[in-house]
Chains A and B, each alone.
Chain A
């Protein structure tokens, strides 16, 4: 991890020319030409193998028994094979493909070759094990097995050519940048779509293995860094493309089946992003965050006109519910934060943890028996009506542009808007006087106060803003689930969102970033949802994941490249001035 940071720095901030063109060490044992040929042959054979049957029976899920076109996990192998051919183009220096590997193509080849091989072998192994024996393999299986092995051998025979990325080429025209961004994001969406719609565990594991290894290859070849840079330069285009891709997802769904998963991920990710303001920007560890979601959900449910509500006859319009949900959440946030934020930072963690627990106890007991009647106790408020905005009933199917939207498709659209709002607020606040003040407090509160920042006031503001965003998400959640119960909002439970999962999503993804918590939330939702094996061990694994992340990669999967995202426009000019000045300085030193 320690060596990651300077690497990043050098990618965006060019050093002396001599470090840029570090020559790769050539290993003369095997001729590179042979290795490349091996990869090419293997890739072609891999592609071919996916058109063969991998087993004779249809009893393995995903039907791998068809000769003539790929099915089930063969699609993954096919895609990886094609990518491998493209990547091979960079190794041969084909014009127009060099941008795929700014930091060396060998790691890219290795990553993709491993992605193809590991994922394919896993599936073949699963066939053999689940159907009891290698007898279930047919010719195609053996072809696939060998074909995917070849590129691995080839890629590892090539000497590692990893080097510092060269200075990015002259900026492409704006439209070309936009096209690349759009293409990248749409592909990412298709990958996510595939992951969400996988229908059995083996398929998801094969998919996850392929994606993980390919991502490793793409990352170490430097192409992801380039894309990130491009995104940072065109933030409006990126946001629009991401929004468009997310919209595309719901139009691709033929039924409501997977929209429920997508809805849950959206809620989870939105709340995680809200938590990221509190934890990632202001550095306040809020361990009861989900309680604010609960406060918002209960507040909205109570005035939604639900039959089981204490105020069953009060059916306020949605905007009023949002106002109430957000308002009550803010009040709760201020009540918790005001006494605590004056004190040592760590006290906040324990007080919020306590608050999360107290919230659950309180709503459990406001049942008219062991407390005043308000929340209907453990049963919660049920029968929360579906939303109806501008005559659009979210509970009923609608046909838009020829696509049928069921209940969860409808809510998907609403949640997408909600998430866009939160992303927008986050992005704007992050880069403002306010965001700078928060980060300054996080970095060194004493110094921040010496710079004129009223630490307490700004911490309270961060805390209250976080609470309000959670409250906002909660109001929608109440309608989406139609019920609000106490055990939906606990510190740790076996399904998200709960406070432990939210924290894990932020930490896993990368504190202080936008895409980090989104990625973290998707992973944390999908992995347990797709692995039945995980069902009762997921909390255990998350505990372990938190420990390991803090130990080995505390910046998360998506590290915060604050420098890159900020001031990107002046950056190039600045970097140049910097290089000149440094050259001057070294000359002066040499003279002295």
Chain B
């Protein structure tokens, strides 16, 4: 294996990992504050992609713009879709269970996840009907960049990958500013540390929780659009495995730790690409390559839980055991 090939794998891994990281931020913020694994977060992610696609398909002028100019408009659509869904889910499914036994909100989260997936599936064009002819389970096409990838040394950099990394960086910079400098951000940190005391100090914890859901969903929408751009498709069930990976990333970086989420995402993305790439590169291990990618990611999760359960950067969760 040459260095170039290796670097190519790392580059692809960074783009993939940045996307995981963007999704993982939502998991980790919500978990840090209310200790809920929001299984539906993968579906918030999926909604973002479909929201953006809806804007693209239903507002014809957008289609005639250059993609780079259309993207901000699509982004707004995607964010609205996923944020609205997240706020609704928080308000009507999770909030009433704030003081319930811990199994109850987890099961509700599963329910929300299945419900959202199936809601989108309902609108899938069925074979023989509808405008777009796709098979029942086929993914839906997403616009992609037309231009050629950039060359850097021998390494190819896809336009969509470059965009993903830039956007992820901007998002994290904003998040860092938000958490450290704004009132709401500090309230969020306080709530994560000790919700009861935060409430006593006059912080509206309900609002803080909604903000965490909103931010998480908005980031997920961004991630979803980068997913669409990179793979040229979105599908109703894309949230399942992306969500699983993103949660792995959140645990990897240290649950509750927003920077950890991005670090975990990058590590997972790179590890995944490099492992499969290296395995596929040699004849003896060839068959253990691409098809097994998710298995390696899962093994990584198990190993991290065994070796460093608090994650790479350390978890930040109020201990209420």
Contacts and interface: CB of A to CB of B under 8 A. Distances in A.
A362 B295 contact: yes
A181 interface: no
B262 to A, nearest CB: 19
Given A350-B37, A543-B114, A361 B291 contact: yes
Given A347-B251, A370-B291, A550-B108, A537 B122 contact: yes
Contacts of A371: 287-288, 291-292
A396 interface: no
Interface stretch (A352-360, A381-389, A520-528): A352-360
A470 interface: no
A350 to B, nearest CB: 5
Contact of A551 (B96, B122, B241, B247): B96
Contacts of A540: 114-115, 118-119, 121-122
A551 B99 CA distance: 12
B104 interface: yes
A546 B220 CA distance: 24
Interface residues of A, number: 48
Contact of A285 (B106, B122, B248): B106
Given A540-B118, A551-B97, A365 B112 contact: no
Interface stretch (A134-142, A256-264, A338-346): A338-346
B294 interface: yes
A354 B111 contact: no
Task: Give the one of B100, B103, B122, B251 with max A CB within 10 A.
Answer: B103
A463 to B, nearest CB: 15
Nearest to A446: B321
Interface in A205-244: none
Interface of A: 279, 283, 285, 287, 336, 339-340, 342-343, 345-347, 349-351, 353-355, 357-358, 361-362, 364-365, 369-372, 445-446, 491-492, 500, 503, 507, 511, 537, 539-540, 542-547, 550-551, 554
Given A357-B241, A369-B287, A554-B104, A340 B305 contact: yes
Contact of B111 (A342, A351, A370, A546): A546
Contacts of B122: 537, 540
B114 A492 contact: yes
A546 B247 contact: no
Task: Give the one of B107, B244, B294 with max A CB within 10 A.
Answer: B107
A537 B108 contact: no
Interface string B86-122: 0000000100110011111111101111111111011
Nearest to B241: A357
21 contacts: A342-B309, A343-B305, A346-B36, A346-B37, A350-B248, A351-B301, A354-B244, A354-B248, A357-B241, A358-B298, A361-B294, A362-B295, A445-B321, A500-B110, A539-B117, A539-B118, A544-B115, A550-B97, A550-B100, A550-B105, A551-B108
Interface bracket on B: 35 or more
Contacts of B251: 347, 350
Given A354-B298, A355-B298, A361 B292 contact: yes
A362 B96 CA distance: 39
Contact of A358 (B31, B105, B289, B295): B295
Given A340-B302, A370-B287, 5 more contacts: A347-B305, A358-B298, A540-B119, A546-B110, A554-B104
B244 A353 contact: yes
Contacts of B100: 550, 554
A550 B121 CA distance: 24
A575 to B, nearest CB: 28
B108 A357 contact: no
B1 interface: no
A542 B114 contact: yes
B110 A357 contact: no
Contacts of B114: 492, 500, 539-540, 542-543, 546
B182 to A, nearest CB: 29
B294 to A, nearest CB: 6
A369 B287 CA distance: 7
A249 B79 CA distance: 55
